[in-house]
Amino acid sequence: MSDTLGKDVVTDSKQSEAMRLLKDCADHLPGIMPDHWIREQAQNQDMIEPFIDGQVRYVDEEKIISYGLSSYGYDARLADEFMIFTNVDNALVDPKNFSEKSFVERKGDVCVIPPNSFVLCRTVEYFKIPKDALVICLGKSTYARCGLIVNVTPLEPGWEGHVTLEISNTTPLPAKVYANEGVCQFLFFKGSSACDVTYGDRGGKYMGQKGVTLPRT
């Protein structure tokens, strides 16, 4: 019996070592990255700050739109700073000559987006993207099913900052969004190697942005 137990222990040890080696190899292969890679990068490389290790669905026993680490992504929170699009001054939207008169600023736990309009806002989290990763953002399904579309361009290798979000209300009715709750999910794609020139290397105009950032030329 003792010989059998000893063989079982050796077999279990070999299987555990094999699983560890497979996990280490997977962390160095290109593709979409899992929760343990996101956790390691956030905790050891400050990739996401603040970082929530797991999904938060309730606050003070009240159900919220979830945020935090998921299986293959990270659900970020909406900050309480909003810039609501308005045409009260008949301003022209020109990305090469952008006017702040196109927006009114609001701060609070809730923002009401006018019908067929949009709001600029940002994530609570500050991101630092590794040099060998590209990050894609998708809106939370709760908002998508209400006709609210979250639009974010990819977070490029070497970029860092708060992520400025554009939330469009595609409905003919006013729509609410909630600060300090989940708003979108970030998916992390790792390349086969680090790129030669990062976003920071080429002096990207949105590098290190904090708060809600308007278009720059």
Catalytic residues: 166
Amino acid, single-letter form, for residue 7: K
Please tell me the distance from the alpha carbon of residue 183 to that of residue 176, in angstroms, as a whole number: 12
Which pair of tokens denotes residue 176?
Answer: 């609410």
| Max CA separation in the chain (angstroms) | 86
Please tell me the distance from the alpha carbon of residue 210 to that of residue 18, in angstroms, as a whole number: 43
DSSP state of 192: S
**Which residue's structure tokens are 């999904």?**
55
Q: Which helix (H) or strand (E) holds 18?
A: helix 2-27
Q: Residue 111: which of 89, 80, 137 has the closest Cα? A: 80
